[in-house]
């Protein structure tokens, strides 16, 4: 970790806890900052707040008092999930207090090169694959960030010559200023998080912040199958490294006509040998291959990872086979695009479990995919009525609307037959009934276990 003095005796407000806020507060305290933490959760039900008080850090919890900002803070480190419309954030902006997110703080103390990965879908799988490939090739890589491991924790331990592979969400990227990955990866861009960003243009601009500090000595790995990327590439000063599943001209990492994964015209392995299903995972593998080859990783290490990796938890994660039915947990599918990817990943008939928070988005894009791949639907949550209508529009007659996920799993089993796939792919966020998509996925796994 770099020994920096920038935060010595600097008054910093950490807004919002969870993993990022907890670790940011501890790092700032270690750097000599005068830290105040403000979290909405009641102190007596807030073990993170209690732990920080034991560390000697000031914590104000239970509400967000706007008057707190009258204490002349010099910086706000904002939890990424807190929107910029929050009264505390609005007041900080009025007072011209700089606002950053935890990855920016981590970058400032980091001694290592960074690979930054963002995109609407595929971020976690791609981040994980890159980390595994670099480590398999004899290098030392640390996968962290939105993947679930706080960057401010990893950055303190990662040494010179190692690599931090950072999964970065659009929420996190809005709070960076200096963060400069040597290699940036943009897996794809679809319509998502418009309730947070306001419109698609803002969302795209947030994603593109990943490359804003890159120079001609850096690399920007982009999905060349999406025409929008060709225009976005012009906004980056980095060397563009395109990848393509659909044989796009100019791609360096690509799937050839014989179904082989290639880089710079060198065949690496057959796509059919990937252990993770779906065309989207071919794209994730190509993005990871591009980064690995730019790092000088040999083909044997890449093949070893891609032929043994069985998936990230909650992302089309194989759970078990029961009486000829295969169960998959895709709780991370918090939007229609992600669910579309999962639904089309299987050749077998799919019994789909879907539903969740209603963000006012249409489910119409699911209709043709459901028509082709889904034999039955079980739905619950705020978007249940939308899912029912989509299924009816797709001509599906086996539809069961229930109240909770606990009810949905046995209902899906009853609608299934031997040889089917039972897939949890909600096409919606989890926050109507769960705190996180991880909690939703864990419950699904537990409910599947109960069927036995």
| 173 and 271 co-located in one domain | yes
135 is in an annotated binding site: no
Q: To the nearest whole percent, how much of the chain has pLDDT over 70?
A: 100
Chain segment 15-39, per-residue pLDDT in tens: 999 999 999 999 999 999 999 999 9
124 is in an annotated binding site: yes
Mean pLDDT, residues 340-367: 94
What integer pLDDT is reported at residue 148 of this predicted model?
86
What integer pLDDT is reported at residue 318 of this predicted model?
86
| 122 and 230 co-located in one domain | yes
Mapped onto helix, strand or coil, the DSSP state of residue 316 is coil
- Residue 415's pLDDT band (cuts 50, 70, 90): very high
Look at the chain and report how many structural domains it folds into. 3
| 113 and 210 co-located in one domain | yes
338 Cβ contact list (under 8 Å, min separation 6): 120, 121, 330, 332, 425, 427
The whole-angstrom separation of Cα 291 and Cα 63 is 43
Chain segment 294-331, per-residue pLDDT in tens: 999 999 999 999 999 988 889 898 899 999 999 999 99
| 196 and 54 co-located in one domain | no
Mean pLDDT, residues 403-428: 98
* Residue with token string 């803002």: 202
Burial (0-12, 13-18, 19+ Cβ within 10 Å), 17: buried
**Residue 404 resides in a domain:** yes
Neighbours of 37 (CB within 10 A): 26
Query: Cβ(327)–Cβ(436) under 8 Å?
Result: no
What CATH number is associated with residue 46? 3.40.50.720
What integer pLDDT is reported at residue 190 of this predicted model?
87
What integer pLDDT is reported at residue 193 of this predicted model?
80
What integer pLDDT is reported at residue 207 of this predicted model?
97
The whole-angstrom separation of Cα 212 and Cα 177 is 9
What CATH number is associated with residue 201? 3.40.1190.10
Q: Does the pLDDT of residue 276 top 90, yes or no?
A: no
310 is in an annotated binding site: no
| 128 and 80 co-located in one domain | no
Average pLDDT, the chain: 96
Among 33, 67, 100, which residue terminates a domain?
100
**Residue 6 resides in a domain:** no
Burial (0-12, 13-18, 19+ Cβ within 10 Å), 146: buried
| 109 and 130 co-located in one domain | yes
| 334 and 353 co-located in one domain | yes
- Residue 434's pLDDT band (cuts 50, 70, 90): very high
**Residue 232 resides in a domain:** yes
123 is in an annotated binding site: yes
| 47 and 178 co-located in one domain | no
Q: Does the pLDDT of residue 278 top 80, yes or no?
A: yes
What integer pLDDT is reported at residue 311 of this predicted model?
86
**Residue 114 resides in a domain:** yes
Chain segment 219-244, per-residue pLDDT in tens: 999 999 999 999 999 999 999 999 99
Inter-CA distances, 311 with 120, 126, 279, 317, 318, Å: 18, 10, 14, 6, 8
**Residue 254 resides in a domain:** yes
For residue 421, give the H/E element and its range: strand 421-424
**Residue 389 resides in a domain:** yes
Phi and psi, residue 257, nearest 5°: -65, -20
Mapped onto helix, strand or coil, the DSSP state of residue 85 is coil
Range in 92-96, 192-196, 220-224, 242-246 the model is least confident about? 192-196
- Residue 195's pLDDT band (cuts 50, 70, 90): confident
Q: Does the pLDDT of residue 191 top 80, yes or no?
A: no
Mean pLDDT, residues 242-267: 97
Burial (0-12, 13-18, 19+ Cβ within 10 Å), 199: exposed
| 161 and 37 co-located in one domain | no
The whole-angstrom separation of Cα 94 and Cα 168 is 27
Beta strands in 239-332 (DSSP E): 239-244, 253-255, 260-263, 266-270, 317-322, 325-329
Specify the higher pLDDT residue, 278 or 109.
Answer: 109
Among 264, 281, 306, which residue terminates a domain?
306
Nearest to 141 by CA among 357, 255, 291, 32: 291
| 244 and 327 co-located in one domain | no
What CATH number is associated with residue 404? 3.90.190.20
Containing structural domain, residue 337 = 317-451
120 is in an annotated binding site: yes
Chain segment 356-377, per-residue pLDDT in tens: 999 998 999 999 999 999 999 9
**Residue 2 resides in a domain:** no
Mean pLDDT, residues 143-158: 95
Burial (0-12, 13-18, 19+ Cβ within 10 Å), 217: exposed
- Residue 430's pLDDT band (cuts 50, 70, 90): very high
119 is in an annotated binding site: yes
The whole-angstrom separation of Cα 226 and Cα 342 is 19
Q: Does the pLDDT of residue 44 top 90, yes or no?
A: yes
What integer pLDDT is reported at residue 129 of this predicted model?
98
388 Cβ contact list (under 8 Å, min separation 6): 377, 379, 399, 401
Q: Does the pLDDT of residue 192 top 80, yes or no?
A: no
| 253 and 362 co-located in one domain | no
Reported pTM: 0.83
Q: Does the pLDDT of residue 396 top 90, yes or no?
A: yes
**Residue 226 resides in a domain:** yes
Specify the higher pLDDT residue, 418 or 193.
Answer: 418
- Going 80 to 86 to 90 to 95, the CA torsion angle's sign is negative
Among 43, 76, 100, which residue terminates a domain?
100
| 31 and 169 co-located in one domain | no
126 is in an annotated binding site: no
What integer pLDDT is reported at residue 198 of this predicted model?
86
């Amino acid at each position: 970790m770099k020994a920096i003095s920038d935060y010595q005796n600097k008054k910093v407000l950490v807004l919002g806890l969870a993993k990022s806020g907890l670790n940011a507060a501890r790092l700032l305290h270690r750097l000599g900052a005068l830290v105040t933490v403000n979290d909405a959760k009641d102190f007596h039900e807030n073990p993170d707040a209690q732990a920080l008080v034991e560390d000697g850090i000031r914590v104000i919890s239970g509400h967000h008092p706007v008057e707190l900002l009258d204490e002349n803070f010099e910086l706000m480190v904002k939890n990424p999930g807190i929107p910029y419309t929050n009264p505390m954030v609005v007041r900080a902006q009025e007072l011209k207090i700089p606002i950053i997110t935890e990855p920016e703080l981590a970058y400032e103390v980091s001694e290592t090169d960074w690979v930054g990965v963002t995109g609407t879908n595929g971020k976690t799988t791609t981040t994980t694959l890159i980390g595994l490939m670099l480590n398999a090739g004899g290098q030392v890589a640390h996968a962290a960030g939105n993947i679930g491991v706080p960057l401010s924790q990893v950055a303190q331990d990662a040494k010179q010559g190692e690599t931090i592979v950072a999964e970065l969400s659009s929420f996190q990227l809005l709070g960076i200023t200096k963060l400069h990955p040597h290699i940036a990866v943009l897996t794809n861009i679809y319509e998502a998080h418009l309730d947070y960003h306001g419109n698609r243009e803002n969302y795209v601009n947030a994603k593109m912040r990943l490359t804003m500090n890159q120079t001609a000595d850096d690399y920007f790995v982009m999905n060349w199958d999406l025409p929008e990327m060709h225009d976005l590439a012009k906004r980056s000063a980095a060397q563009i490294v395109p990848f393509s599943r659909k044989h796009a001209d100019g791609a360096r990492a690509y799937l050839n006509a014989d179904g082989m994964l290639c880089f710079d015209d060198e065949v690496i392995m057959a796509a059919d040998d990937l252990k993770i299903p779906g065309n989207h995972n071919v794209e994730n593998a190509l993005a990871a291959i591009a980064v690995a080859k730019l790092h000088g990783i040999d083909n044997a290490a890449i093949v070893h990872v891609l032929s043994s990796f069985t998936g990230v938890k909650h992302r089309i994660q194989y759970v078990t086979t029961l009486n000829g039915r295969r169960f998959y947990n895709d709780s991370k599918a918090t939007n229609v695009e992600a669910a579309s990817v999962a639904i089309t990943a299987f050749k077998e008939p799919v019994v789909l479990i879907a539903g969740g928070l209603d963000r006012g988005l249409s489910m119409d894009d699911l209709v043709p995919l459901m028509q082709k791949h889904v034999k039955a639907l079980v739905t619950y949550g705020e978007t249940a009525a939308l899912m029912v209508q989509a299924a009816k529009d797709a001509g599906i007659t086996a539809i069961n609307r229930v109240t909770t996920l606990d009810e949905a799993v046995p209902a899906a089993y009853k609608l299934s037959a031997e040889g089917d796939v039972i897939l949890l792919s909600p096409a919606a966020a989890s926050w109507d009934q769960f705190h996180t998509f991880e909690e939703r996925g864990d419950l699904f796994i537990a409910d599947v276990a109960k069927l036995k």
